[in-house]
Amino acid sequence: MKKILIAFDGKHFSEGAMQMAAWINEQEPALMTGVFLSPIDYREVIGYTGMGMGTPVVMPPFQEDDALVSANISRFEERCRRDGFEYRVHRDTELFALQELITETRFADLLIVSSEIFYENIDHHQPNDYLKKTLQSAECPVMLVPEQFIKPFNLIFSYDGKASSAFAIRQFTYLFPTCSRMDALLVCASEESDAEIPQLTLIEELMARHYESVSIEHLAGENREGLTQWIGEHRGSLLVTGAYGRGELSSLFRKSFVTDLIRQHRMPIFIAHL
């Protein structure tokens, strides 16, 4: 049985995250742990910078914040009982909400986060700074889920030959072995029109061991520019990518098809980095 974290912040209760949890539980029963965060990370308010820095300060949540969190906890517990989930509740409402969430990821198999409403009270333009920090620092894979959840019936694996993309493929495969019966599409994008897919034989060997039906799409040269639209048109898909590696994070957010897909809220995105 896997341990799945579902992050809820302040007044935001993600229906998409709960529906994703139900889909995961259909594959194999899991422990669903609701992590309830304060409506703001007070580190930002008092001028701290960086994840894990500074001396913790004991500061109780404001009364209205506490009421919002309590309401979400009750809603989560009711849904879990209704859907037959084994569940736990963790109330992480001390001063540094994001750091508490990151600590939780060290002891989990997967974190589910809404790609639309995660701390939208701070910035509704996703991925906002809070979501970026979570993706950068999470110590387990993250599943980003739009609020209009569509149950996936096929998989898209983003592949560029780098260690992070191969790592993400393996992580998803190990976490969700029952998805082996779903159609799998491996997509590689290259800047040069005459480029070849990196280590094609090796990635084919890996994919064929785990998935019954695998196809490969190579978007090269000018065709690469339409990658975001091309993937976004595949409704009912789940994207697997390793694009948010720690060292690559800042440059990828400036120019990344994954960022565009997050903004469009079209599909669940599984992200794992080394």
Q: What's the one-letter identity of residue 30?
A: A
Half-sphere exposure of 114 (CA within 13 A, CB side): 21
Query: How many angstroms separate the CA atoms of 24 and 237, rounded?
Result: 15
- Of 145, 168, 184, which closes a domain? 145
- 139 and 23: one domain? yes
- 18 and 130: one domain? yes
pLDDT number for residue 177: 96
- 198 and 137: one domain? no
pLDDT number for residue 251: 42
Domain hosting residue 258, numbered range:
154-271
- 183 and 133: one domain? no
- 15 and 135: one domain? yes
What is the domain count for the chain?
2
- Of 99, 124, 145, which closes a domain? 145
- 224 and 92: one domain? no
Q: Which of 117, 104, 103 is nearest to 9 (CA)?
A: 117
- 9 and 137: one domain? yes
- 140 and 179: one domain? no
pLDDT in tens, 141-196: 999 999 999 999 999 998 988 898 999 999 999 999 999 999 999 988 776 767 78
- Of 111, 145, 179, which closes a domain? 145
- 65 and 135: one domain? yes
Confidence of residue 273 (pLDDT cuts 50, 70, 90): confident
- 163 and 140: one domain? no
- 170 and 126: one domain? no
- 244 and 168: one domain? yes
pLDDT in tens, 55-98: 444 444 455 578 888 999 999 999 999 999 999 999 987 667 89
State the CATH number of the domain containing residue 121: 3.40.50.620
